[in-house]
Amino acid sequence: MTATVADAPVTAARPVSVGRGYRFELVKLLAQWRVRLLILACWIAPAIFVALVSQQSSLPTDTTFGRWMNATGWAGALVLLGFAGSYALPLLTSLVAGDVFASEDRLGTWRHLLVAVRSYRRIFAAKALASLTVILLLVAGLAVSGIVGGLAAVGDQPLPGLDGHLLGSGDAAGKVLLAWLCVLAPTLSLAGIGLLGSVAFGRSPMGLLLPVVVAFVLELAQMLPLPVAVRLALPSYAFIAWIGLFTSPVQVGPLLISVTVSLAWAVLATVLAYVLFLRRDFTNLSYDGSGRRALTLGALPLAGLLAVTIGIVAVSTPAMGPGIDQDKVQGSLATAFGHLYRLQTRQLNRPDVTEEQLGSTAACTKGDGLVAPEGAGNDWRCVVSWHVPGVATTGQAIYQLDVTSDGRYVADGDGPKEVNGYFQVRTPAGDQPNPLWQFDGNVDLLPTTKG
Amino acid sequence: MDITVAVRARGITKCFGDVVALDGVDLDVAQGQIHGLVGPNGAGKTTLLGLLLGLAVADEGTLEILGMPVGRALAAPEGVGGFVDGPGLYPSLTARQNLAALAALRGQAADLDDVLHQVGLTDVADDRVRGFSLGMRQRLGLAAALLTTPRLLVLDEPSNGLDPAGKKHVYGVLKRLAADGTTVIVSSHRMDDVESLCSEVTILATGRIAFSGPLSKLSAENRELDYRIRTSDPEAARTLALDAPRVRVVDDPGMRQDNEILVVRTLVPALDELVARLVRAGIAVRELAPVVSPLEAAFLALTEQEEVSR
């Protein structure tokens, strides 16, 4: 363009820095109406959802913490977290990480990008970082919006944990945020799988769908009566394991293992995506993904990682059974009952009593004693006993338990109705069902974990 | 470094599996020249342009760009810009945003308004590329390439989708660049585009060079051509042509049957003699033109020859 063009010294091309590439990728991602819509939805929709549901008389009691949504503002963000782990987060990672490479195939812009950036490695790093940023922005939106919606609609009341103990504001806020932080690990593993699918399948929609498909398969697997070692080795278990934060002591073992496994999946899937990316032939215009290479370089190493983690978990923890046995169920139920009895006592304005004074115990059978008392099922029946100071007789109440294979359970009061039947109690947040009527609990799948 | 030669390729061979895309290609392109690269589909034009942009490396042979040897992918020296297989643009961004993002990527402080003005896109600078026509995309692709202040500009079919005015505009930009010392290599299917833009041309056929050199040399090749002649008396003109030496009257396969048109196949000297005879016989010559341009005829002859020899 100027007379000096021909006279300028010739220099070797230098690749564009990762920082500039990252900004370039962010600009492209944020210019997409789909991504903008997702960001808007993640920052607004949860608040509206939580606020509306919290005002309903019929609450999502089939979701952990759902029954507390109109009692405390902290429950809404946790209900949302349970829902997000199953549906929203896999979908978000699909739409962002699963498309970040494929979109260049669709638009036919790979050659342009390569000429501009001049480094495969830096293109990959910039794209991975940009998609990670957008995913973090979306997850942060879900968390903040859910919390704000709940607190605005219901208020900052104490949150009953899964063992019935009450969490004050600071404790609840910290644990809710930590729970959202923990699910970043499985989200990152799905994002890694999304990157892998996006690189491996090119413009094929299979790449875009891969995180959703993998998440669906893992969700199905979690419903099966798998040994604990297998369950913990699945990269999606941290979507469930965060509930261990809401017991005392915290169920650290499953949480740490599942977060570690998820991060290992995230790292391996991203590395595999990188290797596939480097091996791709960008001069071939008709490239539409490589099925065989995706299998050998993508699926097989991940299957290997699964096998290795199962082995490590099995060796390091004696956890080859279902992880749910009579002692754990009895211990968990008795603890939860003790804490919730105190809550009921306060709500009914009776003299306070401590858990130690109550000394609650539980005796549980499964299948009317006809089957071994272990594993998941809705045929657990427990009798809880306790002492009230100054009263000679031992109190007893019956519960039917529906225990799921991941250790969660719903305890349903079966009498006497004065103790665990349905009736309303007056609380500062309004009339609430008797806290001993139905409540959620959680069994630690590992033998011993201390928080 | 000899940078009076912008591109020097020797024995370049590039294969994709069993397909030989380029087969021992030698090429010299002088600095400040607009060089045309023509050939039928699958001749290897895009592969060669891709090598020049550094998108791939040759399996065999040596390639020097702006005096620097290129031995690995993405290693073309600074100052090489352009596009193959259409400009890479992001439809969700506006024209200005596309250029701004690209300039920021390269860490350049570019005068976007000037570049947009050069390619005639000032009026649509803030429109999203999603709504652009092919011609507008080509212009924006050229603008993106201009951002690099290129010393070697490689453009694959830059006139695709351009209307005559747009083509004239873009060609004006390319000629100005060449005048300032930038080497421009353009591929095209159309010889008339190459004729109006390039000083030298390389014809590729099935991965081999069928011709490389000045256009004047290509058109001066001694070949019979078909000429269309419209006269005031077609019947008399036909009779004269049938009697003329070294002139054959042929049907006009490319045109609709028109009794007023006479098509003859001959060399230029015999055509001159035929015109003189027509005039002497009192027949007015109202139109005389080759059915295909001399360059296109040469192109067709060379590429067909190459196909047959394979």
What is the CATH classification number for the domain harbouring B9? 3.40.50.300
- The pLDDT score that the predictor gives to residue A46 is 96
- Give B16→chain A minimum CA distance, Å: 8
- The pLDDT score that the predictor gives to residue A95 is 92
Q: To probe the interface with A, which of B90, B118, B174 has the most A CB atoms within 10 Å? A: B90
> How many Cβ pairs closer than 8 A exist between chain A and B?
133
- Answer whether residue B116 shows pLDDT above 90: yes
Residues B123 and B23 in one domain: yes
Give the model confidence (pLDDT) of B226-235 as tens digits: 899 999 999 9
The percentage of residues in chain A with a pLDDT greater than 70, rounded to a whole number, is 94
**What are the Cα distances from residue A174, in Å, to A168, A223, A245, A388, B160?**
10, 29, 10, 34, 60
- Is A286 within 8 Å of chain B by CB? no
ipTM over 0.85: no
CB B105 within 8 A of CB A21: yes
- Answer whether residue A451 shows pLDDT above 60: no
Final residue before a domain boundary, out of B219, B235, B259: B219
Residues B132 and B180 in one domain: yes
Lowest mean pLDDT among A79-93, A200-214, A278-292, A419-433: A278-292
User: Span A283-294, mean pLDDT?
Assistant: 61
User: Span A101-118, mean pLDDT?
Assistant: 90
User: Span A128-151, mean pLDDT?
Assistant: 97
Instruction: Judge if the upstream peptide bond of residue A416 is cis by omega within 30 degrees of 0.
Output: yes
- If pLDDT is split at 50, 70 and 90, which confidence band does A177 have? very high
Give the model confidence (pLDDT) of B117-132 as tens digits: 999 999 999 999 999 9
Q: Which of B68, B88, B101 sits opposite A24 (nearest CB)?
A: B101
Contact A108 B86 (CB under 8 A): yes
The percentage of residues in chain A with a pLDDT greater than 90, rounded to a whole number, is 66
User: Span B52-79, mean pLDDT?
Assistant: 87
Q: Which residues of B touch A100 (CB under 8 A)?
A: none
Q: Which residues of B touch A111 (CB under 8 A)?
A: 50, 53, 55, 83-85, 88
pTM of the model: 0.85
- The pLDDT score that the predictor gives to residue A322 is 84
- If pLDDT is split at 50, 70 and 90, which confidence band does A363 have? very high
User: Span B213-225, mean pLDDT?
Assistant: 75
Searching chain A, which residue's CA lies closest to the CA of residue B52? A115
- If pLDDT is split at 50, 70 and 90, which confidence band does A3 have? very low
As a whole number of Å, the CA-based R_g of chain B is 23
- Give B43→chain A minimum CA distance, Å: 15
- If pLDDT is split at 50, 70 and 90, which confidence band does A282 have? confident
Contact B146 A1 (CB under 8 A): yes
Alpha carbon distance A412, A418 (integer Å): 14
Lowest mean pLDDT among A322-336, B90-104, B214-228: B214-228
Final residue before a domain boundary, out of B174, B195, B219: B219
Contact A115 B55 (CB under 8 A): yes
- Answer whether residue B307 shows pLDDT above 80: no
**What are the Cα distances from residue B10, in Å, to B47, B63, B64, B184?**
15, 6, 9, 19
Reference A14, options A117, A114, A111, A110; nearest CA is A117
- The pLDDT score that the predictor gives to residue B190 is 78
Q: Which residues of B touch A14 (CB under 8 A)?
A: 78
Residues B210 and B232 in one domain: no
- Is B187 within 8 Å of chain A by CB? no
- What range does the domain containing B226 cover? 221-309
Residues B211 and B232 in one domain: no
CB B188 within 8 A of CB B194: yes
Residues B261 and B236 in one domain: yes
Q: Which residues of A touch B181 (CB under 8 A)?
A: 3, 5-7
- Answer whether residue A102 shows pLDDT above 60: yes
CATH number (domain holding residue B234): 3.30.70
- The pLDDT score that the predictor gives to residue A9 is 67
Contact A109 B88 (CB under 8 A): yes
- Answer whether residue B65 shows pLDDT above 50: yes
Contact B66 A10 (CB under 8 A): yes
- Answer whether residue A212 shows pLDDT above 90: yes
- The pLDDT score that the predictor gives to residue A317 is 81
B222: helix, strand or coil: coil
- Is B182 within 8 Å of chain A by CB? yes
Look-up: residue for tokens 């306790």?
A: A386
Alpha carbon distance A384, A332 (integer Å): 11
- The pLDDT score that the predictor gives to residue A288 is 55
- Is A282 within 8 Å of chain B by CB? yes
Sheet containing B285-290: which strands, arranged edge to edge? B248-250, B261-266, B225-231, B285-290
Q: Which of A3, A107, A282 sits opposite B180 (nearest CB)?
A: A3
Lowest mean pLDDT among A58-72, A123-137, A273-287, A385-399: A273-287
Residues B299 and B195 in one domain: no
- Answer whether residue A386 shows pLDDT above 60: yes
The percentage of residues in chain B with a pLDDT greater than 90, rounded to a whole number, is 54
Give the model confidence (pLDDT) of B153-185 as tens digits: 999 988 888 888 888 899 999 999 999 999 999
Residues B70 and B130 in one domain: yes
Residues B89 and B182 in one domain: yes
Give the model confidence (pLDDT) of B272-281 as tens digits: 999 999 999 9
Structure tokens at A1: 């363009």
- Is B3 within 8 Å of chain A by CB? yes
- The pLDDT score that the predictor gives to residue A2 is 40
- If pLDDT is split at 50, 70 and 90, which confidence band does B108 have? confident
Q: To probe the interface with B, which of A7, A27, A99, A115 has the most B CB atoms within 10 Å? A: A115
Give the model confidence (pLDDT) of A37-67 as tens digits: 999 999 999 999 999 999 888 889 888 999 9
Q: Which residues of A touch B50 (CB under 8 A)?
A: 111, 283
Alpha carbon distance A30, A238 (integer Å): 29
- Per the model's pLDDT, the better-predicted residue between B192 and B33 turns out to be B33
Residues B215 and B95 in one domain: yes
Contact A107 B90 (CB under 8 A): yes
Q: To probe the interface with A, which of B7, B18, B74, B183 has the most A CB atoms within 10 Å? A: B74
Residues B134 and B52 in one domain: yes
Residues B142 and B256 in one domain: no
Instruction: Give the number of domains in chain B.
Output: 2
- Give A111→chain B minimum CA distance, Å: 7
Q: Which residues of A touch B97 (CB under 8 A)?
A: 27, 31
- If pLDDT is split at 50, 70 and 90, which confidence band does B219 have? low
Residues B155 and B242 in one domain: no
Final residue before a domain boundary, out of B185, B204, B219: B219
- Give B305→chain A minimum CA distance, Å: 28
